[in-house]
Amino acid sequence: MSSLKIVSFILLMVLLAIGFNLARHKPLWTDEIYSQTVSVEKFSYPDILLGKVKEGNTCPLFYLIQKMICDMTQYRVPSTGLEPWDQHAQILLRVNPVFFMSLAIAVIFYCIARFYSSLAGVFASFVALSSPMVWLYWAESRPYAMWVLLGTLQLLFFLSIIRKEELNIRTWNWLAVIHGLLSLTVITSVGQIMAVSFLLWILKSRDWKKYLGLTILPLLICFYYYGRSSLSPLWVPNNFMKLIYPSISVEQRGLFAVYTTFLLVQYFQSRGNAHVLTIGKEERRSWALIALMLAVAFSYIIFYKLREIPGHAGHELPVRQFIFLTPVGIIATVLFSLDLMRAVKNQMWIRINVALALGGLMIIHFLRNCFGIIGIY
Amino acid sequence: MGVAKTAVTMSLFMFLFFSIRQEYADAKLRKLNNFAPRPYDYLIGLMEGQVTFNRARIEEYEHYYKMLIAYIPQRADAYGMMGFCAYHLGKIQEAIFYYQEAVRLNPHFFWFHYSLGVSYFNSGMYDKAGESFVNARSVDPSITYKFLFSSKVYQPILADLSDPASLPVNFKNGLKNCYLLEAAMQQKTKEETFLPKDKFYPRIF
């Protein structure tokens, strides 16, 4: 086993310890109790698989895993009902999210360290641990942690595909598996699947057969479960940007703006054939993916706005519906930071200043977004 | 690097340094607000002996007050609350330490002296308990109330109190207990009859 794999494994163990500690101190809340009491306990495996659970999201993967964990440990909700402060349930019901969120961070570390450098891997883990959404949903027995892990893997496999000139069928197939799992996790993964598939169609392959498993089947699965879902009415808040901000902070948006400026500068330079800045090809493609993912988020907002019942009936559209932007924000921050550093590698003074600015920005990012919530429970 | 370039880099460094320092100060306050273990009904129930022991719940409160002390070490009320939590978690020596600190930082709050006295009493340190009860009796009640109502630590707990009219009653009972325990301790030197140890507990207010 390589030293990188060993370090990643140790990191995973540490993250699991942090996650279970969070779970121990965080009371179960209404949605978790409802999902366990109704969707997991009262429905059989075939019913869950057929999307018969009475939830907004009827995709079965999360409920199936929860049911399996409960059956294996012979756990049943007490006859008196599930209390928020039930230490046994707080841990057991969160094995699933704690494991998947921890794995997501460890995978980010491993892949970035492997693609770039160990230091980049450490930086990526720091950026991931600076995301408030990671901390908020690390120990919540709902499908969000799985969504973050699968979203992370989707982006990393996409990066892996576009890094190479020739198409690697094995990676492609893995991405198809991830898309399949995404479609079995949340119905709103439809936008992510379409965004990645669209870019791959543009950049890699236009062989429609390749998209049967990668796109068509996952989309059909999503639409099937969408048809079975009992979506309660949701209304979009007037300041709809607050749905996106927790996943992509102001510091990250600042970085994206700087990077976009660099891209424009490079574009105009290339027209004059004077290459001072060199932005990598794959980072340009990543930039396109991130822009597309943001477009997906805005499409959702428009979708919910169109479905809105006048008079704010139902619930406010929750921030967690946009958690798929969290891995997008993390990976984009890492890639753009690394690329900015690489773009100025021959100019020592600028390099020092860019490193200083990026380091400072990330510390501020951590203090603003995470310091206040770490250890909250 | 030339002087101008060094100056630019140093300026950037200083700018980031002060920004981070300011962010850290703001983040600490945000964290304390986020961590506030609302609601305080369990804490109030614990004080009134109306709830069953739940270690995890008390540890939540303890965790918050420990953090409050770490960030703002000059808060007597935070030490008082730590003493209360530590006592109910069975860590009486630790509770005594926190109440001592609370008394040191604010010797004009009745309930610090009272709770310190009760903690001493329940751990068998009767001389020190007696001293604390004498100190408690000598406190001006108006200063105690002023501190209680102005404290940012006590305000949210007071807001969760179902019957605010119980405050003066509690104070009177506290004073009565001071006399009762002092008398009982004086008796002890003559004979071995004594009040049951577990009848008196530290109070928040």
| Residues in chain B closer than 8 A to A363 (CB atoms) | 16, 20, 23
| Residues in chain B closer than 8 A to A359 (CB atoms) | 16
The pLDDT of residue B193 is above 60: no
Judged by CB atoms closer than 8 Å, whether chains meet at A25 and B63 is answered as yes
pLDDT for position A22: 87
pLDDT for position A376: 54
Q: Give the amino acid at A25.
A: H
Q: What contacts A166, CB < 8 A, 6 or more positions away?
A: none
Q: What angle do CA A282, A287, A289 make, to 5 degrees?
A: 95
Instruction: Give A134 to chain B, closest Cα distance, Å.
Output: 16
pLDDT for position B188: 62
Selecting from B1, B26, B30 the residue whose C-beta is nearest the C-beta of A349 gives: B1
When pLDDT is averaged across residues B152-168 and rounded to a whole number, the result is: 88
In angstroms, the CA B67 to CA B59 distance is 12
pLDDT for position A369: 80
The pLDDT of residue B190 is above 60: no
Q: Which residues pair with A234 in a beta bridge?
A: A315
Give percent of chain A with pLDDT exceeding 70: 96
Instruction: Give A29 to chain B, closest Cα distance, Å.
Output: 14
Confidence of residue A267 (pLDDT cuts 50, 70, 90): confident
Instruction: Give B62 to chain A, closest Cα distance, Å.
Output: 12
Confidence of residue A275 (pLDDT cuts 50, 70, 90): low
Confidence of residue B189 (pLDDT cuts 50, 70, 90): low
| Residues in chain B closer than 8 A to A356 (CB atoms) | 9, 12-13, 16
Best residue in A371, A374, A377 for a mutation probing chain B (most B CBs within 10 Å): A371
The pLDDT of residue A274 is above 70: no
Best residue in B13, B18, B22 for a mutation probing chain A (most A CBs within 10 Å): B13
Yes or no: say if A51 and A228 are a contact pair by the CB < 8 Å rule.
yes
Instruction: Give, to the nearest 10 degrees, the angle between helix B166-188 and helix B141-150.
Output: 130
Judged by CB atoms closer than 8 Å, whether chains meet at B9 and A375 is answered as no
**pLDDT tens digit string along A131-146?**
989 988 999 999 999 9
Confidence of residue A375 (pLDDT cuts 50, 70, 90): low
Judged by CB atoms closer than 8 Å, whether chains meet at B31 and A372 is answered as yes
Query: Which residue is listed with tokens 């540490």?
Result: A14
Yes or no: say if B141 and B110 are a contact pair by the CB < 8 Å rule.
yes
The pLDDT of residue A350 is above 60: yes
Average pLDDT, chain A: 90
Instruction: Give B42 to chain A, closest Cα distance, Å.
Output: 12
Selecting from B27, B60, B67 the residue whose C-beta is nearest the C-beta of A25 gives: B60
In angstroms, the CA A335 to CA A328 distance is 10
In angstroms, the CA A350 to CA A160 distance is 30
Confidence of residue A343 (pLDDT cuts 50, 70, 90): confident
| A:B CB pairs within 8 Å | 61
Domain span at A67? 2-376
Yes or no: say if A73 and A54 are a contact pair by the CB < 8 Å rule.
no
Yes or no: say if B114 and B132 are a contact pair by the CB < 8 Å rule.
yes
Give percent of chain B with pLDDT exceeding 90: 54
**pLDDT tens digit string along B46-97?**
998 888 888 888 988 998 899 899 888 889 999 999 999 999 999 999 999 9
Average pLDDT, chain B: 88
pLDDT for position A273: 59
In angstroms, the CA B174 to CA A371 distance is 40
Selecting from B13, B24, B56 the residue whose C-beta is nearest the C-beta of A87 gives: B56
| Residues in chain A closer than 8 A to B24 (CB atoms) | 367, 371
Yes or no: say if B31 and B67 are a contact pair by the CB < 8 Å rule.
yes
Number of domains in chain A: 1
Q: Give the amino acid at A12.
A: L
**pLDDT tens digit string along A5-51?**
999 999 999 999 999 988 987 889 889 999 999 999 999 999 999 99
In angstroms, the CA A307 to CA B86 distance is 53
Judged by CB atoms closer than 8 Å, whether chains meet at A372 and B30 is answered as yes
- Following DSSP, what letter does each residue of A282-298 receive, concatenated? HHHHHHHHHHHHHHHHH
When pLDDT is averaged across residues B25-49 and rounded to a whole number, the result is: 85
Judged by CB atoms closer than 8 Å, whether chains meet at A85 and B56 is answered as yes
Nearest CA in chain A to B22: A364
| Residues in chain A closer than 8 A to B28 (CB atoms) | 371
Instruction: Give A124 to chain B, closest Cα distance, Å.
Output: 20
Q: Which residues pair with A316 in a beta bridge?
A: A235
Q: What contacts A182, CB < 8 A, 6 or more positions away?
A: A147, A150, A151, A154, A189, A192, A193, A218
Lowest mean pLDDT among A79-83, A97-101, B84-88, B90-94: A79-83
pLDDT for position A231: 72
Selecting from B20, B35, B60 the residue whose C-beta is nearest the C-beta of A363 gives: B20
pLDDT for position A280: 66
Nearest CA in chain B to A347: B1
Q: What is the pTM of this model?
A: 0.78
Q: What contacts A24, CB < 8 A, 6 or more positions away?
A: A87, A90, A91, B56
**pLDDT tens digit string along A221-261?**
999 999 998 777 889 998 999 999 999 988 899 999 998 88
Question: For residue B161, which of B42, B36, B77, B60 has the smallest C-alpha distance?
Answer: B42
Instruction: Give A24 to chain B, closest Cα distance, Å.
Output: 9
Confidence of residue B1 (pLDDT cuts 50, 70, 90): low
**A184 CB-contact burial (10 Å; exposed 0-12 / middle 13-18 / buried 19+):** buried
Judged by CB atoms closer than 8 Å, whether chains meet at B31 and A352 is answered as no
pLDDT for position A147: 97
Judged by CB atoms closer than 8 Å, whether chains meet at A371 and B24 is answered as yes
| Residues in chain A closer than 8 A to B34 (CB atoms) | 372-373, 376
Confidence of residue B143 (pLDDT cuts 50, 70, 90): very high
Name the strand (E) or helix (H) holding A222.
helix A217-228
Strand locations in A24-176 (E) = none
Lowest mean pLDDT among A79-88, A274-283, B88-97: A274-283
| Residues in chain A closer than 8 A to B33 (CB atoms) | 372
Give percent of chain A with pLDDT exceeding 90: 68
